[in-house]
Every structure is written in structure tokens, then in C-alpha cells.
Amino acid sequence: MDDKTKVVFLGSRPLGAFALKLLSSMENIEVVACVAKKPPKEAWWDEDPYFSEYSILDSHDSLLDIDFDFGVSINYWQIMPPELINPPKLGFINLHHAYNLSLRGRHMTARAILNCRESKRWFHGTCLHYTDDGLDTGPIIASKACDITEQDTGWSLFKKTEKLGEELLAEWLPRLCYSKVPVAYPEQGHPLHLSNNNDKDYKFIKDLNEDPLFTYDFVRAYEFGGHFSPAFTIINGKKTYLTISKSIGAEILL
């Protein structure tokens, strides 16, 4: 029907699958294209938009010739060009795990844990925003926050933000498919904002005893439920993984 809102979706992982299912359930919505990719063999998740009922496109370049009203990006792995995100009358949205886009780039939950003592920001969260051609930038639609506790790991904090993300999408997607909304703008120039850490040894800690509290925060920041390698140090010339969880079974328990 011509009165349906035409939507394109780009994304991955369980939160992307959640969003796509939500869009599919809306009567006056037509998903006209879906960009996804097959999860890697080591993926920790089972649900993914790649396994949906839709024909899958492998690149946002395929969307440039498609007429659509609204775009949704959830865990999409590339920055989209202006010629894709500017034309739709209802805009293009993204969900990023940082309260009010206060952290950009990679490893948001780890950085939230590592920065909380110094910044006194004992909270993290997620944010729904309109996209522009930057990395995790653009006008903010809505955010939700969660506390960071002394016992949180990167994995436990990530699961909190995933739940908040589902809540934001359930509340706002039905609205955003019909109308653009008033927005706010993220704080600019904060030193904690952006991280593009490409150092292969960013999980390495040299001296466990120099600052025990920092060591504890560092180790739990990079503990992700056993799905990725944790923080490590070198003991007697040997790479030794670090954990605060007995269930992971690393060599040193802090």
C-alpha cells in the first residue's frame, strides 16, 4: 500500500534482530531493504538480522537507488555517506551504547568502567539518535541510563545497556516511523568522548601492584563473559590472563 512508511534496515547482533522484528510487526511499515552480514564463527550471539525472512543485501551502497522514508541502523559496521542518510523525509536513526553519546567509538562499556572513578560518572547507558556522517554523532532523540557498580564487568554492563536499548526501541520506533521528533545535541570536545584504539596490546597491564584499585577496574572492564580474551599481564615471560570471575577460569583471580 502506498500509505505505508518505507523503511530500510542495516545492522547485526541480537539488538539488530530485535529492532527488525519490531519493525516487521508494525502494520503500517514496509521494510523495503535489509543490509546484514553472516555472523563470524566465533560470534557469541545466535539471533541476527542475517537470519531474518528478508532478502539480505551486503552493503549500504545497494540502498542508494532505493526509495525509502526512514532508515534504521543498529550495530551497523560502517559509516554511511550523506547521500544515503540525508534524503529520507523521516531521517536515519542509530542506537549507540553511551548515555547521550558521551562515549564514541569502540569498547564503550570498558571505557565507562575505566573512567567512572575519575569522572565520578558511576553510570552508563544507551542513546537513540539521528545519524550524520560522523562516528557516533548526530542529534539525540532519547537516552536511558544504568548504574555502574563496583562488581560490574564489561559483560554485565553491556547486558544492562542491551536491555535499555530494547526499551528505547520499543518506545520510540513506532513514533519515529511516522514523524521526526525534537532533538538535543551531544556535548562537544570532551576528552573522554572518542576512542579509536587500534593498539593490539590495549588489554595489557604491566604492573599489577602499582595501583591495585586501577588493576581491579582494568581487569573487570575487559571481562566479557568469556566471549573475548580478557586483560593480561606477563609473569615469568608468560602471557597470563586475568579475571575477577571464578567461572572463567583464568590463571589469576583478583
179-211 residue pLDDT tens = 999 999 887 766 555 565 556 788 999 989 899
pLDDT of residue 1: 45
pLDDT confidence band for 2 (50 / 70 / 90): low
Question: Under a CB-based contact definition with an 8 Å cutoff, are residues 72 and 60 in contact?
Answer: no
Write the pLDDT tens digit of every residue in 209-249.
899 999 999 999 999 988 988 999 999 899 989 988 776 55
How much is the pLDDT for 57?
96
Q: Are 138 and 131 a contacting pair, CB within 8 Å?
A: yes
Quick one: which of 116, 124, 110, 123 has its CA closest to 223? 110
Per-residue pLDDT reduced to its tens digit, 61-80: 999 999 999 999 999 999 89
Compute the distance between CA of residue 8 and CA of residue 69 in angstroms, rounded to an integer: 8
pLDDT (0 to 100) of residue 252: 60
Task: Provide, rounded to the nearest whole percent, the portion of the chain with pLDDT above 90.
Answer: 75
